[in-house]
């Protein structure tokens, strides 16, 4: 079933279309939720909450070509995850202290990172503190600017930039440790 037909079926309450939508996109939306939640059980809850919002809002979806339904659903999932983080004060925003020295870490070369299994890398991202993980995902994966991230998370741009820097430093240390331990 094409995306447009699938969306139209869901908006009409067609249970077969809703099941198809879930079967087709649940894995992808779970991966998106996992990037923000850090653990599978929470990610599954977030994914289910996202599907409830999707089913409730699918009538407002406007088809813009192939991939637009998936992108729309992923955006809803990100918003559900960010709402979960905000409601639980899980963002762990570190106030920017100009006097405090930021941690130093040399980012590994892309060839080194490419040798690490994807599941390991995702696990490293999942181990970041919630706020760092949220900013890292929004900036590096979703492609938002620090201004947009600041608006989404209710922080200032400098905090977003600082958290991204700290997230990258933590990841660089984790990657170096992994490479050293596995002699890659």
The domains of the chain are located at 3-87, 110-182
Task: Tell me which H or E stretch contains 90.
Answer: none
> For residue 164, what are the contacts with CB-CB under 8 A and spacing of at least 6?
132, 135, 136, 139, 140, 146
140-168 average pLDDT score: 93
Q: pTM for the full model? A: 0.80
CA distance 129 to 38: 9
Tell whether domain 110-182 is in CATH 1.10.10.10: yes
Confidence of residue 97 (pLDDT cuts 50, 70, 90): very low
Answer whether 3-87 and 110-182 agree in fold.
no
Is the separation of the CB atoms in 131 and 90 below 8 Å?
A: yes
- CATH number for the domain running over 3-87: 1.10.1740.10
Is the separation of the CB atoms in 83 and 36 below 8 Å?
A: no
Q: What pLDDT does 91 receive?
A: 60
pLDDT per residue as tens digits for the range 102-147: 556 678 888 888 889 988 988 999 999 989 999 999 999 999 999 9
In the DSSP assignment, the letter for residue 177 is H
pLDDT per residue as tens digits for the range 80-95: 999 998 888 756 554 4
151-168 average pLDDT score: 92
């Amino acid at each position: 079933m094409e995306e447009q037909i699938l969306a139209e079926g869901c908006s009409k309450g067609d249970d077969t279309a809703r099941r198809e939508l879930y079967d087709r996109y649940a894995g992808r939306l779970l991966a998106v939720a996992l990037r923000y939640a850090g653990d599978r059980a929470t990610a599954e809850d977030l994914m289910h909450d996202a599907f409830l919002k999707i089913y409730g809002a699918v009538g407002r979806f406007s088809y813009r070509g192939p991939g637009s339904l998936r992108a729309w659903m992923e955006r809803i999932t990100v918003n559900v995850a960010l709402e979960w983080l905000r409601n639980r004060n899980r963002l762990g925003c570190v106030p920017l202290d100009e006097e405090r020295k930021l941690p130093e870490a040399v980012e590994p070369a892309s060839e080194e990172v490419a040798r690490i299994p994807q599941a390991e890398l995702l696990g490293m991202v999942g181990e970041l503190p919630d706020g760092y993980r949220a900013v890292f995902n929004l900036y590096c994966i979703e492609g938002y600017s620090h201004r947009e991230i600041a608006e989404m998370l209710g922080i200032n741009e400098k905090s977003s930039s600082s958290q991204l820097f700290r997230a990258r430093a933590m990841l660089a240390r984790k990657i170096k440790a992994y490479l050293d331990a596995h002699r890659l």
